[in-house]
Structure formats: C-alpha cells, structure tokens
Amino acid sequence: MAAKAGTSFFKLFLLKRLKKFNLPQGDLVAIYIGYVRPILECAVPVWNSGLTKHQSYLLERLQKRACRTIMGSSYNGYSHALEHLGLSTLATRREQLCLKFARSLLDSEFRDWLPPPRTQITGRVTRNSHLLNCPKARTNRYLNSSIPYLTRLINQYDQ
C-alpha cells in the first residue's frame, strides 16, 4: 500500500508540473484518470476487502490532492470538486470495480471460485434462490478476504 501511495504522489507531482503549462482542466482530468488512478486501482478485487479505514482515507487523500491541483484557486471542497470534474470517490469506484469483477466471475470459466447459488444446494426455488451461499468464516481474516467480500457484494446488489 505504501508503494502505491509513493508512486501516486510522485505522479501527482508530474500533474502539478503539467498544470503550470496552463492545460485545460479536462486534459488534466484525463491525465489523472489515465496515469495516476490506474495505480490506485490495480488489483482492487484482491485487496479492497482488507483495507483499513486509515488506508482508505490515505487513498482518498491522494484523489483530493489531485482535485485540488487540477482546480487550482477555484477549489471549494472535495465533494464540489468531484462533482465539477465528473469524478466519483475512490471508495465508490473500488466497490463498483469489485462488483463488476464478481459479476464477470459468474459468467467465466472460474465460476467455481465463488460459492454455488442456494438453488444448487437445496434444490428448491425460494425467494432468495438467486443469492449465493455465503461461505462460513471462522476467522475475521477470512471474512475480510476477497471471496466472502465479493459474495456479499453480489448478494447485496443483485437482488
């Protein structure tokens, strides 16, 4: 996590240098989306479920700094900047990426990574038969790992 943050802070420095060439905000946002944000989102489905609140705050701080750099003196707050630049919070984006990955797993050859739907286990059609059977976790470490997290996401959003 620290390596990602360090690399991203360096690339934010490059964004700040580009700002001095009076590039339009749209171009700076495109550079941020294409050059900085991919580092922050690399392999998100693997590590997102294990993030602490502090680590999530540090990642969000990187985007806040990028917004402040892009908007310059017209920066009036993080939520206003996100709305003005057409961005979403990194926490929201990470959750969307994880959900997209989990849905793609359902239709791929790696379907067996996720637990089976309840209809396969019981053989009965019920109101919740579309839900995946959540794996039982004896430890918090497993509960906060990728597979149970992705299962909870699918069950939460695909109803």
Which pLDDT tens digit goes with each residue over 2-60? 677 778 878 888 899 999 999 999 999 999 999 999 999 999 999 999 999 999 999 99
Distance CA 135, CA 149 (A): 10
Q: Which residue reads 């791929």 in tokens?
A: 108
Q: What's the token pair of residue 87?
A: 């961005």
Helix (H, G, I), strand (E, B) or coil at 73: helix
Task: Tell me what pLDDT residue 76 has.
Answer: 95
What tokens does 136 get?
Answer: 């039982």
Confidence (pLDDT) at 158: 75
Mean pLDDT value across the chain: 88
For residue 126 the two structure tokens come to 């019920």
Rounded-to-integer distance, Cα 65 and Cα 9, Å? 9
Model pLDDT, residue 122: 66
The Cα–Cα gap between 11 and 92 comes to 22
Spatial CA neighbour of 29 closest among 72, 66, 77, 74: 66
What pLDDT is attached to residue 93? Answer: 97
Six-digit token string for 159: 């109803």
pTM score: 0.85
The whole-number pLDDT of residue 29 equals 96
- State pLDDT tens for residues 73-127: 999 999 999 999 999 999 999 999 999 999 999 888 988 888 887 766 666 666 6
Q: Where are the beta strands (DSSP E) in the chain?
A: none
Tokens of 117: 């739907």
Q: Give the number of C-alpha atoms closer than 13 A to the C-alpha of residue 20, restricted to the C-beta side.
A: 5
